[in-house]
Amino acid sequence: MKTQLVARRRLVFAIICLTQFFMIVNSTIVVIALPPIQRDLGFGVEGLTWVVNSYLLVFGGFLLLGGRIADIFGRKQVFLIGVSVYTVASLFAGLATTAEILLAARSLQGLGAAVVIPTTLSILLASFPPGPERRRALSIWAAFNFTGASVSLFVGGLLTHTLSWSAIFLVNVPVGLIVVAAAARWMPMWTRISGSIDLGGALLVTSGSVLLVYAVLNARQESWISPTTLAAGIVAVILLGTLTLVEHFHSAPLITPSIFRERTLTIAVVTLPIMAGGVMAVGVLMTLYFQNIREYSPLQTGMAFLAPTGMVVIGSLTTNHMLRWLGAGIVAPAALFLIAAGTILLTRVGPNSEYVTVALPGLSVMNLGVGYGSVTLIGLATAKLPNTDTGLVSGLVRAAEQIGGALGIAVYSSAAAVGTASSAAPTHSGTAIVNGYQFAFWCVAAVIICWCLFLMVALRKPHQSLLR
């Protein structure tokens, strides 16, 4: 009987890892297919950005709600509904004949992903008890997560080049059908939280999150001081501030304020967006460097990011051993130090730098730190988590990463523009642009090093032994 239970749990784990992998791949795969999409569906320059932004806006806005409804309505049921929605949306996106249909399908994909991605983490947390077994599962899950992010550009380029842009969406349909069938057959039912959903809290958290993500996305397209960006940001802060007040007095709140009394969870949730913001910004700027400065093709760019993927996988899979030897109080700051060190190595990039001697070492060191850091921080966030709040915290963790990543891209891209403008070289020259990238990398490294020093103090004993 015990053998059957272990085999079933491993099968469920394989299902959520496969689902997570394809969700992460598809979150950025569309970037590589934007030129043929624009040509076939007649998008304008501004409208084309919404092929990406429509997904990000809904995804980032509904993550917290998506995680919480898994606690309330049941993880299995919500997982099945989310994957089904995502699969249907992918089918419509792949068959889209107009820009409007594609944008609607991308928004629906974002909604499905916002439900599924926090639910997969919630299922993992519910399936494995706290301790080494959970950390081992988190390490494997994170390796799938990062591998998906790393191969997305390569897979997108390959499918678009050999088939068409529709293939990047249609490939999800058979995968989604397999996942739904397997989950319906093998995934167990978990105990749900009694009661109904807090509609007021749901409205506030969703509208506030959507506006916050919109403000960040708009800042990337226009500016931080544009009226639209400022208005969206101010209203988002008001709504989320009101949420904090309302939930404090609600008898059955959507977001339980007491979870933030756990110090390590709060530290992890604040650290994740700082880390994600720096790493995602470096990824975007290096993509621009490869394609605009080094004139790599999209497929070559994907290969350039694929090569260092092994380091993030190594970091993820060995984190459990590192935590057992050293504890989270050492591993978490060390992970951020590696990310900062890798970013500093990337400040050596120039218009004619060799990939193998400059870009590859920097990306590899940074990726090693990402592998260690993500698993450790998620472990800190969930170590003392009640089983009734796994969906909520899963959504909170993913929302922190998503919003932090978008914010980091916007902030450090602005820093790159400042660096380019202040360069002694002609503004539009390759040298000036690279100088801007270098300045942004120094900014990323400085912020992460400062936070690394904070973690060294914040995770001192007794917290450093928490994840041993």
The helix (H) or strand (E) run that includes residue 164 is: none
Q: Where are the alpha helices (DSSP H) in 347-389?
A: 360-382
Cα radius of gyration rounded to whole Å, the chain: 21
Distance CA 384, CA 416 (A): 40
Q: Residue 158: count other Cβ atoms within 10 Å of its Cβ.
A: 17
Predicted confidence at residue 1, as pLDDT, reads 55
Predicted confidence at residue 46, as pLDDT, reads 61
273's CB contacts (< 8 A; 6+ apart) are 400, 401, 403, 404, 405, 407, 408
Distance CA 398, CA 411 (A): 20
pTM surpassing 0.85? no
Report residue 438: phi and psi, to 5°: -60, -45
Distance CA 238, CA 250 (A): 18
Here the tokens at position 184 are 């319906």
**434: left (phi > 0), else alpha (psi -120 to 50), else beta?**
alpha
Residue with tokens 């103090």: 457
Residue with tokens 């049941």: 74
Predicted confidence at residue 179, as pLDDT, reads 92
Predicted confidence at residue 463, as pLDDT, reads 45
Mean pLDDT by 10 residues, the chain (468 residues): 71 88 79 78 71 81 81 87 94 90 91 90 83 82 78 74 84 92 85 65 78 77 79 86 75 69 85 91 87 80 81 86 86 94 94 90 94 88 73 80 82 86 72 90 96 88 52
Predicted confidence at residue 223, as pLDDT, reads 74
Predicted confidence at residue 177, as pLDDT, reads 94
Predicted confidence at residue 196, as pLDDT, reads 62
Predicted confidence at residue 384, as pLDDT, reads 74
Predicted confidence at residue 459, as pLDDT, reads 84
Treating both helix axes as pointing N-terminal to C-terminal, what angle do 45-73 and 75-94 enclose, rounded to 10 degrees? 160
Treating both helix axes as pointing N-terminal to C-terminal, what angle do 390-421 and 45-73 enclose, rounded to 10 degrees? 160
